[in-house]
Structure 1
Amino acid sequence: MSEFNPYVFDIVICLVIVFSYAFSIVSRKTNIPSVLLLIGLGVGIQYALKYLEIDAGTTLFQILEVLGIFGLIMIVLEAALDLKLTRDKLPLIIKSFSIALLALVATSLAIAYLLYSTIIPVFLTALVYSVPLSVMSSAIIIPSVASLSEHKREFLIYESTFSDILGIMYFYFLTGNLETQQATTVITDVVSNVTLTIVLSVVLGYLLVWFFQQLNTEVKLFLLIAVLVLLYSVGKLFHLSSLVIILIFGLMLNNYQLFFRGRLQAWINQSAITKICEEFHLVTIESAFVVRTFFFVVFGMTLELNSLLDQETLLTGMLIVVIMYVIRYICLKSILFRNILPELWVAPRGLITILLFFSIPAQLVTDQFNSGILLCTVLVTSLIMTAALLTKPKEPVGEEFTELTFEDWEELDQMGESALLEDNNTA
């Protein structure tokens, strides 16, 4: 076994960040998700460690879970700081939420039935395993849809964010009520949990926004991140839906005009809030980039590629992928009533899927579920999204123009008449 050298370790860490930045440039140019390149880099590091006879041990899985928690918080916060809540976007929000919820529930039940029929004899265990596979990855989608039209891009950002949040809530409600026998008890617990979390999130959001605008010190943004991570972790210990706290805070900070109205307006220093929002947005993007980088690289280092050689594993993985897209097609077509390409194929599985998979309670962990199924769904859905974005049809020209109102046409007529008068005078 090679002796640990801290300088070599520092070099590797820095090179990973440099490669990740290069991958993000390649991703923007080619629409190939940088996540696939990061996972590939992790696999390469795994084989390099084996060649050098360096054993990372079980520490990697613990690192993966910690990175996953930070990544989850940063990604949802980054998404919330990008979302503007306006009346004209309300239909888009409602549609994206409805599709995310319907697709999540329907896909999880269908995959659970498949697993129950083939490899997992207990339906509840199969359902717990199916939920992570049913969650879309905002960590992959958000940086990958920049080339789409604004409407399609916003829809996918909203949908993937809702899918993340609902999927995590769904998963922890299932695992938190394993010993509860009565359905009414579960429903009561869920409703009370969500209600308490939302009320607490709104109160904390107001307090945090007010408090941090009062700070005059230069060092405050990472203090804010530390407080949010603290609130998230404490909330998880009390079995609350902590991600809602992060989402609501981000929305309140980015849409403070909507939340601080009337007498609450006196709480706000507009210039201070605007500055905090801009700086915090930048720090969040940078932090999410670093955490996402190391999460997927470490995930690549933990992969067992030999699991993909098992025919039963590949068949199960591909059947799960088919179920995902069939249900997604039905949900999109029944609610959007329009062209659903390339949105249909933009449904990759990633960070949340992996994080929830490693969070399955010990009493439900079964060797009958091959981790190659997880790897298959992550890789195949990412490759399908890549192909869809590379071959996406050109956006209709009409979508690039703003609809003209009656006043616009009247102004055009006046301009036309003025031009005719000038021509006549010149003649």
Structure 2
Amino acid sequence: MDPSLILVALGAIVLMAYLLDFVGRRLRVPAVVLLIFSGLALSALDDFTGVKLDLPHELLPVLGTVGLILIVLEGALDISLTREHIGLVGRTALVALLGILCTGGLIAVFLMAVFKLPTFQSMLLAAPLAIISSAVAIPAASALAPNQRVFVVYESSLSDILGVIIFYALLSYNGNVGELLVSQIGEVTLSVVVGLLMALAVFWLMPRIDHHVRVLPLIFGIVLLYGVGKMMHLAPLVMVLLVGLLLNNGFLIERLTRGRMKAAASFATDLEGFKHLTAEFTFVVRSFFFVLLGFSTKLANLANPMAWGIAAVIMVCCILPRLPLLRWVAGERSRALVFFAPRGLITVLLFMSLPEEYRLPDAPPATVMLVILMWAMLLTYGSVRFNDSSRKEAAPAGSPPTLP
């Protein structure tokens, strides 16, 4: 293909994503929804013109993985840990874990009953569909009140982390629960140690780099950490989450090192620059991923009645346990949070990594995409329906709402 055409396409996608972000905020529609539909429109245009643009097979998984790293990092950099919010962390972790187990269990039962699949294969196929996508949920949560927004950031990030751990544990140990638990305890513990060391390194380096290129090497160092952790079969998202949390809560590093490491005078300014570039980099990667996700979907496949039927049952399995978990486990009474559990980037990535022998040959190819689109529509409804009322539930009069 002509390199000039590629450059035009790259520039057009970024500028279009920037415009859609403005439009989405005005219409109170999550920008991710508009990006997916833009990709679908480009796919239809590609079919109509007969250009037939072929994307490299590895492009979407790589973009998705980098986007996942940056989104978890960006979310962690927005969270300030205080003693009074330790309970919130515990509740969101429990809701995320039980949500994966309950939703995954219902979907697995459905797959076993309808497609006569073995239990292990059904669990493996159900796991990606049970995970909330932080790539979709976190940007859309800006419509919510501050306390609800933080809940979504914690829940979706922890759902990504726990879901990936469960999925790869199942894949690695073929359903052997005893071996799986022993191995995961060791892997998560080692991941925590490595994440702490990386956070200490970034904390020390950030104010000491005097080169004009300062932030990008640190971001790509975190990407490198994720890749090495993945190759070593650790829990790399745990590392990324720890790096972001500790950087945004420098007092924890001072306590961990017993005062041996203290924030430099310029650390706050350096951290703001780090957050700013991370947010911009995340925006670009996420935009490309969701546009290309829509582009790689054939519109003809979306018209398959069987795909709609399977996707509808999966949606029911996702929604049924959510309201009881929010009310009885998390103690959250807001109906808005029911709609902020979308599927997206992580679901696509995990399905792409499934070995061929575990895939479901009888399922229509657009089933997963329909689940993502259905959740996107629910998320849009939640963003529009609860936007104004959510903001009225913010902090008491006289005190500006801030993230805890």
In 2: Cα distance, 1:284 partner to 1:76 partner: 11
CA separation of 1:117 and 1:352: change in aligned 2, threshold 3 A: same
Q: In percent, how many aligned pairs have the same letter? A: 29
Question: Structure 2 CA distance, aligned partners of 1:84 and 1:290?
Answer: 25
Q: 1:5 aligns with which of 2, 5, 16?
A: 2
**Does 2:298 align with 1:326?**
no
2:28 aligns to what?
A: 31
Tell me by how many angstroms 1:259 deviates: 2.1
Contact 2:72 2:241 (8 Å CA) reproduced:
yes
Counterpart check, 1:100 vs 2:96: yes
Q: Which residue of 2 aligns with 1:274?
A: 268
Please give the per-residue CA displacement for 1:261-293, whole angstroms capped at 9, x wherever unaligned. Answer: 386434234323212211110011001000000
Is 2:349 the partner of 1:355? Answer: yes
Residue 120 of structure 1, CA deviation: 5.2
2:329 paired residue number: 335
Aligned mates of 2:257, 2:224 — CA distance in 1 = 30
Shift of 1:114: 0.6
Aligned to 1:200: 194
Distance of 1:247 and 1:264 partners within structure 2: 22
1:128 alignment partner, one of 114, 124, 127: 124
Q: Distance in 1 between matches of 2:369 and 2:61?
A: 17
2:205 aligned counterpart, secondary structure: helix
Match of 2:283 in 1: 289
- Structure 2 contact 96–159 (Cα < 8 Å) conserved: yes
Q: CA distance change for structure 1 residues 28 and 111 in 2, over 3 Å: closer, same or farther?
A: same
> Which letter does structure 1 place at the counterpart of 2:24?
S
8 Å Cα contact 1:120-1:369 kept in structure 2: no
Name the residue aligned to 2:107: 111
Aligned counterpart, 2:360: 366
Between the two proteins, the alignment pairs up a number of residues equal to 398
The alignment status of 1:189 with 2:186, answered yes or no, reads: no
State the Cα deviation string for residues 192-218 of structure 1 (Å, max 9, x = none).
111111122212221232133321112
Map of 2:40 onto structure 1: 43
Aligned partners of 1:77 and 1:246 also within 8 Å? yes
**Structure 1 residues without counterparts, runs of 5 or longer:** 405-427
User: Which position in structure 1 is the counterpart of 2:72?
Assistant: 76
Q: Within the alignment, does 1:17 sit opposite 2:11 as a pair?
A: no
SS in 2 for 1:270: coil
> Could you say which residue in structure 2 is the equivalent of 1:236?
230
For the residues of structure 1 that align with 2:282 and 2:131, how far apart are their CA atoms?
A: 19
Root mean square deviation of aligned Cα: 2.0
Q: Which amino acid aligns with 1:75?
A: I
Question: Which shows bigger deviation, 359-368 or 91-100?
Answer: 359-368
Q: Which amino acid aligns with 1:350?
A: G
Equivalent positions of 1:143-292 (< 5 A) are: 143-178=139-174, 182-261=176-255, 264-292=258-286
**Quick one: structure 1 residues 226 and 338, their matched pair in 2 at CA, closer, same or farther if it must change by over 3 Å?**
closer
Decide whether aligned partners of structure 1 residues 395 and 69 sit closer, same or farther in structure 2, where only a CA change above 3 A counts. closer
Task: Answer yes or no: is 1:85 the counterpart of 2:105.
Answer: no
The equivalences for 1:369-384 within 5 A come to 369-384=363-378
Contact kept in structure 2, 1:100 and 1:160, CA below 8 Å: yes
What SS is found at the alignment partner of 2:294? helix
Letter in 1 for 2:282: A
Q: Structure 2: how far apart are the matches of 1:267 and 1:47?
A: 56
**Structure 2 spans left out of the alignment, 5+ residues:** 400-404
Residue identity in the other structure for 1:254: N
Q: Contact between 1:119 and 1:369, CA under 8 Å: does it hold in 2?
A: no
Do 1:142 and 1:157's aligned partners in 2 also have CA atoms closer than 8 Å?
A: yes
Q: 1:327 to 1:86 in 2, by over 3 A?
A: same
When residues 223 and 120 of structure 1 are mapped into structure 2, their CA distance, relative to the original with a 3 A threshold, is farther
Segment drifting more, 238-247 vs 120-129: 120-129
**Aligned twin of 1:401:** 396
Q: CA deviation at 1:380?
A: 0.7
State the secondary structure of the residue aligned to 2:343.
Answer: coil
One-letter code of the match for 2:255? R
Aligned-residue offset at 1:388: 2.1
What code does the residue aligned with 1:67 have?
A: L
Q: 1:311 to 1:46 in 2, by over 3 A?
A: closer
Q: Please tell me whether Structure 1 or Structure 2 has the larger radius of gyration of its CA atoms.
A: 1
Shift of 1:346: 1.6
Matched residue type, 1:38: L
**46-55 or 221-230: bigger deviation:** 46-55
Paired residue type of 1:315: G
3-state SS of the aligned residue for 1:258? helix
TM-superposed CA distance for 1:362, in Å, is 2.8
TM-score under structure 1 length normalisation: 0.88
Whole-Å separation in 2 of the counterparts to 1:366 and 1:395 = 41
Contact 1:140–1:348 (CA under 8 A) maintained in structure 2: yes
Q: Select the residue among 292, 297, 305 that pairs with 1:298.
A: 292
Give the drift of 1:402: 6.3
Higher relative contact order (CA 8 A, sep 6+): 2
Q: 1:245 deviation in Å?
A: 1.1
Sort the Cα spacing of 1:280 and 1:338 in 2 relative to 1 into closer, same or farther, 3 A. Answer: closer
Q: What does the per-residue CA deviation read over 1:172-197, in whole Å, with 9 as the maximum and x for residues that have no partner?
A: 1111212x6x4322211111111111
